[in-house]
Structure 1
Amino acid sequence: MTRTLYALSGTDKARPFSPHVWKTKLSLAHKGLAFDITPVGFTEIPRLEQGATRIVPLLRDGGKLVSDSFDIAVYLEGAYPERPTLFAGEGGKAMARFVEGWSQMTLHPAIVRIAIMDIHDRLDPVDQAYFRTSREERFGKSLEAVAEAGRADLETFSAKLEPLRHMLKFQPFLGGDRPLFSDYIVFGALQWARIVSPHRLLAEGDVVTDWFERCLDLHDGLGRSVTAA
């Protein structure tokens, strides 16, 4: 069966950077499922699969189309129950919902402010125009003003990781002894920053850094297949 994952990329099509795409890439690898990547720019997304989605990742699994990284994980868990679990039961799925909310409400906004110009500069011109217009409308200010505010986020980002830091004192992964989808959620956010921005958000010797390095090594080093900015 052919699987295709549509992944958000900039000018360099070999460097997909979306945090949500990275969640799905690791989820597919976790399940041991082969897949091909089709890189797309922001402005190409509405034309994918005859207008099937407004967001990526979008997974085509044979005749099935699934969008949204969490929905894809749930689909994979149900479609391939004999393969390694992404949730380890309903409790794990509920925990992943909480982790996703924390990541998207706490980590993602800070990363956007820190890396917004880095993201813009890595896009094709047509996508740069879309990105600038849409993000300036969202923030109510210029990209440059958002980036200026992001300087403060660099100083406070480490503190935002304290809940993760606390949990990792007791176990090597959020999932326990082995990673689960919850790990891929947070990894996706930090991998996004690693790929698009030269700013280093993790300090040497931090338990979060050690966890992130373990995640980079998972599935034959899938996370390291794209180098840091």
Structure 2
Amino acid sequence: MTADGTSVQVPDSHDNRAHYGLPATQPAVDAPPHSRALLPRIHVMALAEHKAHTIRHVALERPPTYPAGTLARELCRSLKEGHLLLADEGFLDPAAQAVARANGTDLLWRIHPTSISHDIAHLPDGSRLCVLHENPRKVRVIQPSPPAHEDGWNPTLLTTTVLDHQAAPAADLTALSQPHWRLRSSLATIGPGTPQVLRSRWPEGVEQEIWGHLLVQHAIHTLLYV
């Protein structure tokens, strides 16, 4: 399974602004007038099958006071034993990781090298067992090989809760992590423009429109994969 999140702009109506708030980031002073407008945004996080990209679960951020990590924890509750979840650095907070692990799900995500507290052991496949600063649980870290044409390449590290290097060799996990699904790209293929802006001027309509887009995306990828 793979997870990704994005935010979608919605019309700046009174109802939408009251429900979703406005982005904290201010536009540049010298930005073109048409790009200086601050629009409310709805945050969407989705869980999909890694190869087919068919969506299995979606979490929507409703009021702007939603605590950080709430969407990730909601998605992780739908994971099952035997699943492997691929996610980017910063997607999974420790609480979300705990929810996933309680369901029997293993994780594969990216971290910055500074996230590692210390090494425990080096394994025959080139990976190593480590402990991260933010989580005392033991994890396995994989250093992807740099492309031959790039000097000074300093990638993020792959981290996984699959500790058995024989069951899941480092090379297999590295290859699996390459074709990462992007929710933003999936929405853009069926959206009305770039950047995508929804049309509904009230929150109930916004969520209905989001679900409509996601249903179409799910149907398209189901047909492409069969």
TM bucket by the smaller chain? under 0.3
TM-score for the superposition, normalised by structure 2 = 0.26
Q: Of Structure 1 and Structure 2, which has the larger fraction of its residues in helix?
A: 1
Q: Which structure has the higher relative contact order (CA within 8 Å, separation 6+)?
A: 1
TM-score for the superposition, normalised by structure 1 = 0.25
